Amino acid sequence: MRVLLTGSAGFIGSHIAEALDHEVVTADLRTGVDVRDPDALDRLLPGVDAVIHQAAKVGLGVNVADLPDYASANAYGTATLLAAMARHGVGRLVLASSMVVYGEGAYDCPRHGRVRPGPRREEDLAGGVFDPRCPLCGDVLSPSVIGEDAPLDPRNAYATTKLAQEHLAANWARETGGTAVALRYHNVYGPRMPRDTPYAGVASLFLSALLAGRAPRVFEDGGQRRDFVHVRDVARANVLALGAGRPGESAAYNIASGTPRTVGDLAAALAVATGGPEPVTTGEYRLGDVRHIVASPARAARELGFTAEIPFEDGIKEVVSYTYA
């Protein structure tokens, strides 16, 4: 199989390139190929059987001034790629999506059962009440496990454009008979994580602080729950996804470890592994952040044959060893 891998020089893309046992055609903005350039795509796509699309502007965004860049890189870039795939008869797509399309995760109310919370209120956040409230009675909710069929509710520029990518891929699949598989990555960490940028993930931000001799600053109370999945597990999921899906349809999968941890746990583990200062819990918050996203990886296990293999403790040690090497 001949595979076009976009974002091939990036954190996740570079690991996918190493994991693929296929002929790989690489495309990355760092090496002069922009997926928004139809001419560049027309040079790369002849003879390609499948595309793994990782190229994207990542991170939650700094402010609304970032909106055009996210829309251009993620939504317009994906639309341009899909149009080129249709021109060249490329019928298989694996798309990097994200847990952020869910907005808040799944929650239960002691009185009303499973409910869908709205955005957290600023007065609650300012008062140190970080868990969402029931939209019916106002009680604080308890987090539960979210599956791929949950309602989607993107709450920042990155999330909105990742969901747009999924919708565009579904449009392409229906209209061309192609197969689209969207992998909703949870919090990916591992060697070659980007650092020293406000658009990096939380693990990268904590590690950058520790390498500079500073204590990691943990927002809210540190109790927000995430699923941290190693980048090589994510790469393996992409390889497996090349054989999944049905013509004319799109499918989405949580790519997660299945073992959630708090952001405070992550900061503490990195501090211990680096021998750096203990984390500081600040109580700060961002309105675009969500509280808990705990994933069910059951569908990926059942339909892709994917189960995360790298334990969190081993992964953290590897990240630190790689960084100090």
Going residue by residue through the chain (325 aa), what tens digit of pLDDT does each one get?
999 999 999 999 999 999 999 999 999 999 899 999 999 999 999 999 999 999 999 876 557 888 999 999 999 999 999 999 999 999 999 999 999 999 888 999 999 999 999 888 999 999 999 999 999 999 999 999 999 999 999 988 999 999 999 999 999 999 999 999 999 999 999 999 887 655 467 888 899 999 999 999 999 999 999 999 999 999 999 999 999 999 999 999 999 999 999 999 999 999 999 999 999 999 999 887 889 998 899 999 999 999 999 999 999 999 999 987 6
Total count of domains within the chain: 1
Helices in the chain by DSSP H: which ranges? 11-19, 38-44, 67-70, 77-88, 122-126, 157-176, 202-211, 231-241, 263-274, 298-299, 312-324
Give dist(CA 7, CA 188) in Å, integer: 15
Give dist(CA 121, CA 118) in Å, integer: 9
C-alpha pair distances (Å), 239 with each of 52, 85, 157, 193, 300: 9, 19, 28, 20, 13
Amino acid 62: pLDDT: 56
In a domain, 141, yes or no: no
In a domain, 80, yes or no: yes
In a domain, 72, yes or no: yes
Amino acid 287: pLDDT: 82
Q: Are 16 and 52 in contact (CB under 8 A)?
A: yes
* Structural domain for 71, as ranges: 2-105+146-324
In a domain, 111, yes or no: no
Give dist(CA 271, CA 159) in Å, integer: 29
Give dist(CA 158, CA 289) in Å, integer: 11
Tokens representing 24 are 């790989």
Give dist(CA 26, CA 126) in Å, integer: 46
CA-closest candidate to residue 103, choices 65, 66, 158: 158
Amino acid 7: pLDDT: 97
In a domain, 140, yes or no: no
In a domain, 251, yes or no: yes
> Can you give the CATH number for the domain in which 302 is found?
3.40.50.720
